[in-house]
């Protein structure tokens, strides 16, 4: 019988240190393949594979698209690429962002659940917002096992805390104990695999760029939500599965409700920033025109330009107050 030989780990803010501490605990004969997705800047070179390779006996590297999967290796997602699993193979693809992130934890977890079912152990570590929660739900629904870092010790507790709000989590552990826990779990017999709903497979193929959602006959799962996508402006479909709601547009951009709320706040803040900058430009224009009217001996015109400038000053204050309100954390988040 197969064992739990596929370990997928997701982290965000504070994740580099947490991943180093965890990977240092894994022995040289660790009988599983380990896959790590850490949120990364899309344009920066990642030193994470080198850092994880140095801390313990297991080799760590960023795979190439189509590389075979082998036990006793740590595979690390590269910047600006989703890392996805197929039977015996790892994919590196530039599919649509999920929660404005690529690589995304949910993409990795979802693909692992579809490919390996009950053989998967999903691990959520420190991080912002809720990436990984939907992925853990998919893993446990497929018969896999879930592990979450104790949020009380996490540098950024939002990711593990949001995961724990669901009833799918199998184990909660401190980092110091997680290596021993994983070593015990990977030696256990895997539970039977449970087929996932078809929408999971469609979303996984979108992340892998195996088809375009704009192709004839290809439909985005779910139903129109009447909410626009913050990334492209298209209509978001609302997908309900395993008692959870998530969103995906026709281009393929995906959001959890918390991630969508944060993305909308960012869009509003950008729009307000543009409006405030435009008002500052208007003040300079009005002051220049007021000075011109003064030089020409036109006091009424000068007063009108001065009044217009004062109105723009008031509008800037209103816009800046609105931006301060937007910077407050959304419910259940710590962004």
Annotated catalytic residue within 5, 39, 111, 146: 39
Query: CB neighbours (10 Å) of residue 240?
Result: 12
- Alpha-carbon span 333 to 254, nearest angstrom: 18
> What Å distances lie between residue 212 and 69, 78, 96, CA to CA?
27, 23, 10
Q: Are 34 and 149 in contact (CB under 8 A)?
A: no
For the question of residue 12 being annotated catalytic, the response is: yes
Minimal CA–CA distance to 139: which of 158, 125, 119, 159?
119
Q: Which of 12, 107, 241, 265 is catalytic?
A: 12
Give the DSSP per-residue string, 147-193: EEE-TTT-SS-HHHHHHHTSS---EEE-HHHHHHHHHHHHTSBPPPP
Catalytic option among 130, 131, 204, 231: 131
SS3 9: strand
List the one residue out of 53, 124, 63, 59 whose CA is nearest residue 88.
63
Query: Can 131 be counted among the known catalytic residues?
Result: yes
> Pick from 112, 162, 104: which is nearest to 142 by CA?
112
The answer to whether 92 and 83 are in contact (CB under 8 A) is: yes
For the annotated catalytic residues, the residue numbers are 12, 39, 131
């Amino acid at each position: 019988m197969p064992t739990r030989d596929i370990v997928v780990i997701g982290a965000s803010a504070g994740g580099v240190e947490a991943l180093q501490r965890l990977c240092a605990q894994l022995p040289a004969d660790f009988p599983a393949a380990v896959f790590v997705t850490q949120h990364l800047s899309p344009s920066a070179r990642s030193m994470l594979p080198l850092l994880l390779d140095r801390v313990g006996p297991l080799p760590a590297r960023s795979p190439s698209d189509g590389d075979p999967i082998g036990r006793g290796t740590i595979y690390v997602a590269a910047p600006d690429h989703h890392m996805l699993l197929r039977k015996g193979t790892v994919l590196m693809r530039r599919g649509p962002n999920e929660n404005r992130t690529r690589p995304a934890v949910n993409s990795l977890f979802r693909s692992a659940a579809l490919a390996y079912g009950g053989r998967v152990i999903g691990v959520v570590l420190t991080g912002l917002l809720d990436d990984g929660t939907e992925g853990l739900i998919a893993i446990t629904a497929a018969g896999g096992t879930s592990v979450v870092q104790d949020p009380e010790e996490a540098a950024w507790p939002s990711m593990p805390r949001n995961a724990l709000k669901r009833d799918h989590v199998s184990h909660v552990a401190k980092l110091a104990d997680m290596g021993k826990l994983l070593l015990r779990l990977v030696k256990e017999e895997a539970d039977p695999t449970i087929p996932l709903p078809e929408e999971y497979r469609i979303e996984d193929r979108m992340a892998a760029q195996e088809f375009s959602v704009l192709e004839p006959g290809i439909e985005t799962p779910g139903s129109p939500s009447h909410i626009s996508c913050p990334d492209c402006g298209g209509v978001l479909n609302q997908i309900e599965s395993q008692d959870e709601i998530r969103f995906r547009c026709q281009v393929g951009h995906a959001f959890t409700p918390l991630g969508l709320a944060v993305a909308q706040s960012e869009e509003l803040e950008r729009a307000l920033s543009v409006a405030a900058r435009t008002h500052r430009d208007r003040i300079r224009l009005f002051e220049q025109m007021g000075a011109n009217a003064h030089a020409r001996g036109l006091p009424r015109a000068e007063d009108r330009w001065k009044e217009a400038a004062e109105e723009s000053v008031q509008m800037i204050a209103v816009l800046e107050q609105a931006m301060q309100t937007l910077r407050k954390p959304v419910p259940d988040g710590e962004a």
